[in-house]
Amino acid sequence: MSIPSAAADPISALREGDAGQTDAALEILSRVFGYDSFRGDQAAIIEQVAGGGDAVVLMPTGGGKSLCYQIPALLREGTGIVISPLIALMSDQVAALEAVGIRAAFLNSTLDLHEARAVEQQLLAGELDLLYMAPERLVLPRTQDLLRRARLALFAIDEAHCVSQWGHDFRPDYMGLSVLADAFPEVPRIALTATATEATHRELTERLRLQGAKHFVSSFDRPNIQYRIVPKASPREQLLRLITSEHEGDSGIVYCLSRKSVEQTAEALVARGIPALPYHAGLDAAVRQDHQERFLRAEGLIIVATIAFGMGIDKPDVRFVAHLDLPKSIEGYYQETGRAGRDGQPSTAWMAYGLGDVVNQRRFIDAGEGDEQFKRNARSHLDAMLALCETVSCRRAQLLRYFGQDMGEESCGNCDTCLSPPETWDATVASQKLLSALIRLERERDQRFGSGQVIDVLLGRENERSAQSRHQELSVWGIGTELTEKQWRTTIRQLLARGIIEAEGEYGVLVPGAHAGPVLRGEATVELAVDRAPARSTRSRSARSGGGARAAEGLGIAERDRFEALREWRTSVAKEKQIPPYMVFSDATLVGIVEARPTTVAQLGEVSGVGAKKLAEYGEDVLAVLPAASTD
Ligand code: ADP
Ligand code: ZN
C-alpha cells in the first residue's frame, strides 16, 4: 500500500522533471486534482498557454475552465495572476486550491493593509502558484509596479465577457485590462468566458488586445441540464410543486425580477418548510455575503435571488435553477441556468413565463434610460428570448443556434418540447380576428387597449368602457367566442413573441406588429402551441438517477447507506474546517467511492476526484466510514 506523498512540493518536482509538457500536465491533473483525463479542449489550451501563447477560451459553465489556467500556472515558473470581478468568492476559490495543495492567495479590499503586505511579500518571494485580484486593483499603478517586480507565469482574465458592452455584464474596470498587452508583453494571457455570442467573442478579443491569441470555442451544450419552460399560472405554487415533486432536499437557485417578489417567494418556501434565503441588492452587504456563504456551505438550501446573485458561483451540486420571471436575454438566461449541474449530474432549468412578462419587459425597455441604440439592443435581446419561450421545437437546438452552434440533430431528448412535443393548432383565423379587432378599434374609435379590453371585445363581454365607446356596434364585437379568455391570453402572448402584434408604450397597448401584414392578407398561416398543463413533470426516468441528494437513487440500499454515511462524515469535516462540503469531496466523488468500494488507500486514490493531498488527509477516515464491506 503506497500513499502518494503530499508533502514537500510535488508540483515543483513535476515542473522540474524532464517529462514532456503534456505528460507533466497529465501528471498534475491526476496527482493534484485526482482526475484521469482532460475534457474537451483542456489539453490543447493548457499546451498553448504553458508554451507561452495567448488564448481565448469560450466554454460553458461547468466545462472546466479553471484547470485551463491553473495547470499552466503550475507548469510555468512564477505566479499566475487571476483577474476576476468576484471579490466575494475569492476566499472560497483560494480555499479550494489550498485544499488540493496549491499555493494560492488573493489581494482585495477585504484584506487589511498588514494582510495585503504579507501577500505581496509571498508574491515577490515566489511562494505563490496563483494570485487572485479584481480588475480595478490590477490597473492601479502600485499594483502594476508590484507585478513588474514579481515573476509572472500568466494572466488569466476570468469572466472576460465583462469587457463587452454588447453583453449583459459590462464592467467598466475591465476596459483597463487592455494595458496588459503592452505592460507585460512576455507574459501569456488567457481570457475565459461562458458567454459566447459571436459579437461578444469579437468584442472581447479586440478590447483585450488578444488578436494574436489562439481561440478555443467549445460546444456550449449542457446535456445534463433539462430545459423546461411552462406557462405561468400561479408561479409560487408551480415552483413548490417542482421542488416537492422532483427536487426535495436539493440545492437550487430561484430567480425573480423584483426585490419584493424575491422576499415573498423566499417566505412562501420557508412557510412550507423548505429552507430558503433571499438575496438582492437591497439587502445589507453583510447579510448578502452571509446568505451566499450559507448557500455554498449548506446542502439542500434554496437561494431566491435577483440576477445580482450568482456570477462565479461555482457550487457544483446546484440541482435546479428556476426562473419565475422572464430573463432579459438568452445570454443571461443561459448563464443563469448554467449554474445548475456543474458536476455533470442531471439537473433542471425551469421557467414559468406568461403574457404579463412580455408586456412588462417591453414597457421597461420603452420607458427605461438609454439611447435608441441601447433600446434596440435590448429589444432584440428580448425578442430572441421570447422566441425561445414560444418555440415548438427543441429548446436546446434553439439555444445552441443562438450561440452559432449546430447541434447536428433535430431533437435532444432532454428538453420539454422533445420529451413531450407540444400540440399545435392552426391559429391563422384567430390571429386575423385579433388583428382586425385592433384595427377596427383604432380606425373607428381611435382607441388602443391592453389585452384585457381587447379580449372583452373579441368575446363580446360588456363592461363600462365598451358601453361608453359603443364597442357593441363594431363588426368585430364578439367574433372570438370560439376561444376562452385564457386561450386568448395564450394566443396574444405567442403572437407578441412572433412580432405579429406588439405591445407599445407605458400601458402595453396592443398594435399590429411587423409581421402582421402577411397574416392579415392570408399569405401566411400561424401555427401555435397549445399551452400544456402547468403541473406536468416531464423528467424522464433515465435523467433521474445520479446527482446531489438524488445521487443515491441510482444506488442499491446498502450502497445508499454508505453514501449517506459518507455525506455525514463530509458535513462534519466541512464544519470543522469551515469550508463548503463540496470542497471536501463532490457528490460525484462520493458516489464514485461508494461504487468502487475501496478497501485500501491506494484503491481509494483511483477514484475520480481524489488527489494526493486529499488522499493523505482523508484516506484513512473515509475507509473507516465505509461500513465493513459487502452486505449487499
Ligand atoms: P467552469 O469554470 O468552466 O464553470 P470548473 O472549472 O469549475 O468549470 O469545473 C467544473 C467542474 O468540473 C469542477 O468540479 C472541476 O473540478 C471538474 N473538472 C474540470 N476538469 C475536469 C476533468 N478533466 N476531469 C474531471 N473533472 C473535471
Ligand atoms: Zn430538445
63 CA closest ligand 1 atom index: 3
Cα separation values, 36 from 23, 25, 29, 31, 571, Å: 12, 11, 7, 9, 26
Nearest to 194 by CA among 88, 335, 315, 96: 335
Are 49 and 193 found together in one domain? yes
Are 248 and 181 found together in one domain? no
Where helices occur in 249-408 by DSSP H, the ranges are 259-271, 285-297, 330-337, 355-367, 372-390, 395-402
| Residue 250 contacts residue 273 (beta carbons within 8 Å) | no
60 CA closest ligand 1 atom index: 3
What was the pLDDT predicted at 149?
97
* CB distance 341 to ligand 1 below 6 Å: no
Which of 177, 197, 217 marks a domain boundary?
A: 217
pLDDT > 90? residue 498:
no
Where helices occur in 272-367 by DSSP H, the ranges are 285-297, 330-337, 355-367
Instruction: Tell me how far the alpha carbon of residue 215 lies from the centroid of ligand 1, in angstroms.
Output: 19
pLDDT > 70? residue 490:
yes
pLDDT > 70? residue 542:
no
| Residue 609 contacts residue 592 (beta carbons within 8 Å) | yes
| Residue 54 contacts residue 214 (beta carbons within 8 Å) | yes
What was the pLDDT predicted at 349?
98
Task: Tell me which residue has cell 487572485.
Answer: 132
Mean pLDDT of 570-591: 88
Instruction: Tell me how far the alpha carbon of residue 211 lies from the centroid of ligand 1, in angstroms.
Output: 27
Are 183 and 313 found together in one domain? no
Are 55 and 174 found together in one domain? yes
Q: Would you say residue 535 lies in a domain?
A: no
Are 168 and 21 found together in one domain? yes
Are 148 and 18 found together in one domain? yes
Amino acid identity, position 216:
F
Are 133 and 251 found together in one domain? no
Residues near ligand 2 ion, CB 5 Å cutoff: 394, 396, 412, 415, 418
Instruction: Tell me how far the alpha carbon of residue 30 lies from the centroid of ligand 1, in angstroms.
Output: 13
Nearest to 253 by CA among 299, 310, 291: 310
Q: Which pLDDT band, with edges at 50, 70 and 90, does 553 fall under? A: low
Q: Would you say residue 384 lies in a domain?
A: no
Are 151 and 14 found together in one domain? yes
Domain total for the chain?
4
Residue 202's CATH number: 3.40.50.300
Pairing of strands 424-426, 501-504: unpaired
Q: Cell numbers at residue 579, please? A: 469550508
Three-class SS of 151-207:
CEEEEEECCHHHHCCCCCCCCHHHHHHHHHHHHCCCCCEEEEECCCCHHHHHHHHHH
Measured at the alpha carbon of residue 170, what is the angle toward residues 62 and 377, in degrees to the nearest 5?
A: 100
Return d(Cα 479, Cα 485) in angstroms, integer: 13
Residue 95 φ/ψ, nearest 5 degrees: -60, -40
Mean pLDDT of 591-618: 92
* CB distance 35 to ligand 1 below 6 Å: yes
| Residue 285 contacts residue 109 (beta carbons within 8 Å) | no
33 CA closest ligand 1 atom index: 16
| Residue nearest to ligand 1 atom 16, measured at CA | 64
List, for residues 354-397, the tens digit of each pLDDT value: 988 888 888 888 888 888 888 888 888 888 899 899 888 899 99
Residue 487's CATH number: 1.10.10.10
Cα separation values, 77 from 72, 155, 232, Å: 9, 13, 55
229 DSSP β-pair partners: 351
Could you list the beta-strand ranges (E) of 128-185.
Answer: 130-133, 152-157
Burial classification of residue 301, based on how many CB atoms lie within 10 Å of its CB (0-12 exposed, 13-18 middle, 19 or more buried): middle
130 DSSP β-pair partners: 80, 104
Are 48 and 173 found together in one domain? yes
Neighbours of 267 (CB within 10 A): 14
Mean pLDDT of 621-631: 72
More confident residue, 531 or 490: 490
Query: Which strand (E) or helix (H) includes residue 240?
Result: helix 235-246
Instruction: Tell me how far the alpha carbon of residue 63 lies from the centroid of ligand 1, in angstroms.
Output: 6
Q: What is the mean pLDDT of the chain?
A: 88
Tally helices (H) and strands (E) across the chain: 28, 17
Q: Would you say residue 540 lies in a domain?
A: no
- Asked which of 123-127, 228-232, 311-315, 408-412 is least confident by mean pLDDT, the reply is 311-315
% of residues, the chain, pLDDT over 70 = 91
Residue 619's CATH number: 1.10.150.80
Are 187 and 315 found together in one domain? no
Are 331 and 269 found together in one domain? yes
Angle between helices 485-497 and 428-445 (to 10 degrees): 90
Which of 167, 196, 217 marks a domain boundary?
A: 217
Instruction: Tell me how far the alpha carbon of residue 222 lies from the centroid of ligand 2, in angstroms.
Output: 11
Return d(Cα 552, Cα 307) in angstroms, integer: 31
Give the residue numbers spanning the domain of 302: 225-353+391-419
Cα separation values, 222 from 179, 227, 341, 589, Å: 35, 10, 9, 20
Nearest to 418 by CA among 389, 390, 394, 388: 394
| Residue 347 contacts residue 62 (beta carbons within 8 Å) | no
Q: Would you say residue 571 lies in a domain?
A: yes
Return d(Cα 469, Cα 160) in angstroms, integer: 56
